[in-house]
Amino acid sequence: MQKLGSVPDTVQVAVRIRPLSTQELAGGHHNVIIQPNSAEPRLIARGAEEFTFTEVYGPTVSQAEVYDRSVRDIVLKLLQGFNVSILAYGQTGSGKTYTIGTSFDGRITNQTGILPRALLDIFDAVNAPPEGDGSSASYRVFCSFMELYQEHVYDLLSHRNRYEGLLGIREDIEGVIVPGLTELAVSSAEETFRWLMHGASSRATAPTRMNKESNRSHTIFTVIIRSRRKTTATAEEHMRISKLHFVDLAGSERAKKSRASGVRLRECIQINKGLLALGNVISALASSSGTSPRKSARATFVSYRDSKLTRLLQNSLGGNSITLMLACVSPADYNIEETISTLRYADRALSIRNKPARTPPASMSQSSSMAEVERLSKTVSQLRTENDQLRQRIAAELKPAIEAGLVGGKNGTGRHLAAQNRLLHGQLQSSIEESTRNELRASIAENALGRLEPLVLHELCTDYDDLTSMAPLSGDELRTKCEEILLRYRTEYEALLQRPTAQHRSTLH
């Protein structure tokens, strides 16, 4: 792991200018964004307005260079216990999804975005040999993928259908959380790639006049690291949880330009509404960062609750996260108004001050509840894996029946097929019940984990008064709450075990 270096306390902003498209060149459009010196992060728009950012990448800069210069260092802060957020912001068709890499196809090429590259670096660091500093570390990696479409949150990694994967947002001790969001344990970059592609295939997309593959929703792909470090000298073990969010925002668009109507128009309105709320938050945070203590609280109020998007990004903007905004812009003259708007918002974001801090370590010896959190997390991952195996087994068992049905239709062996069908139906019923039972067990464990983990983290944060403004619970109060949650979990689990299976019901008849 890298040594703890400097951590930026303001939002870092990198502007990326896409090249003019073939259609734009054929239409006679020209470039109105100029970078006078490629070695300086300075832009001139429309020949008059000048902007300076953390980094500026011209149309010829490669994906690898963007990652190496702006992303790699902050991604590796994840393993040091920091939360990290990377946002792609800009108008539709400006290259946000291309830059982030949520449309990854499974092949690492020169066109691969920053997300797959980050996953490769994370797993290289996680699997690296231990350092000779008298301590040993182990890591468990998880991922989640959510979509915000027309102010509704969807779980893109859920095995349920789209509408059963609808989720809510609530606030807890640790901030804004999404209860029930699927978090999958992953052991390699390749496995994470598969889940990334699986989730991206369910994302809401549609062609518009501005972009033939326009994303109609905002997505957040999250990598969670649970690190456990044991000191040889004291034999004390600590655990940290840190998160890396890749936020691919839907592009702003003008209905007149995109000629949206019907469903596309409603999507456009919701997208712009969320981005407007985000712009207001950016402006309020930029103003408050330069506000003197004498100014009223009214002047520095930040309205995160105006949109679900701003609630989800609350920790990334003005929170304890290291944040990078990738502002993607079009250089074409007919997009100048949208480009200027993006650059102005990006310029304001430079003034936002976050409070990056390492997540407080949890002493495994101090809290038996933390061990229970870890056990429940493992249970959830194990049950998800078993469910996938059961589904594959069901598909394999149905295949011979389908093939036999086709042959039987020709040879007239109806009785044999009927008997085989009854046998397979019984096996299928048992498999479905076993899958459902495992899913219920996973759901019970997830619910318990969701209630227990914030309490445990809150207990362990009491030594970090500068990181939390919540009043600490007493030892008895915390113990009582944890025991209530665990008792409820065990009661629900035992009730599930006592449910009769199909085999038991058949013996009763």
pLDDT in tens, the chain (509 residues): 444 557 888 899 999 999 998 888 998 999 999 898 888 999 998 888 899 999 999 999 999 999 999 999 999 999 988 999 999 999 888 899 999 998 898 899 999 999 999 999 999 999 888 766 556 778 999 999 999 998 899 999 988 777 777 888 988 776 788 988 889 999 999 999 999 999 998 887 766 666 666 778 899 999 999 988 776 666 677 788 899 999 999 887 776 666 666 787 888 888 888 888 998 898 888 887 754 444 444 456 788 888 899 999 988 888 889 999 999 999 999 999 999 999 999 999 998 988 888 887 765 544 455 566 666 666 776 776 777 677 777 777 776 766 665 554 545 556 666 666 677 767 776 776 676 667 667 766 766 666 666 665 555 554 444 434 445 556 667 667 777 777 776 776 666 666 655 444 444 44
pTM for the full model?
0.72
Distance CA 327, CA 68 (A): 17
Burial 239-260 (b: 16+ CB within 10 A, else e): bbbbbbbbbbbbbbbeeebbeb
**85 CB-side CA count, 13 A:** 27
pLDDT given for residue 304 in this prediction: 86
Distance CA 455, CA 174 (A): 9
Question: Is 94 annotated as belonging to a binding site?
Answer: yes
Distance CA 367, CA 373 (A): 10
pLDDT given for residue 141 in this prediction: 94
User: Tokens standing for 17?
Assistant: 């200018």
Alpha helical stretches, state H, 226-367: 255-258, 263-289, 308-312, 336-349
Closest to 346 in 3D by CA, of 56, 128, 105, 124: 56
pLDDT given for residue 135 in this prediction: 62
Question: Is 23 annotated as belonging to a binding site?
Answer: no
DSSP 3-state assignment of 270? helix
CATH pick for 12-359 out of 2.30.30.90, 3.40.50.1370, 3.40.850.10, 3.40.50.720:
3.40.850.10
Question: Is 113 annotated as belonging to a binding site?
Answer: no
Distance CA 193, CA 295 (A): 48
pLDDT given for residue 172 in this prediction: 74
CA triple 8-315-195, angle to 5 deg = 100
Question: Is 427 annotated as belonging to a binding site?
Answer: no
Question: Is 90 annotated as belonging to a binding site?
Answer: yes
Query: HEC states along 292-321?
Result: CCCCCHHHHCCCHHHCHHHHHCCCCCCCCE
User: Tokens standing for 190?
Assistant: 């390749």
pLDDT given for residue 33 in this prediction: 92
pLDDT given for residue 58 in this prediction: 93
pLDDT given for residue 295 in this prediction: 47
Contact call for residues 445 and 376 (beta carbons, < 8 A): yes
Question: Is 95 annotated as belonging to a binding site?
Answer: yes
Strands 237-248 vs 362-363: parallel, antiparallel or unpaired: antiparallel
pLDDT given for residue 294 in this prediction: 43
Closest to 91 in 3D by CA, of 345, 387, 428, 381: 345
User: Tokens standing for 228?
Assistant: 């456990």
pLDDT given for residue 437 in this prediction: 67
Length of the chain: 509
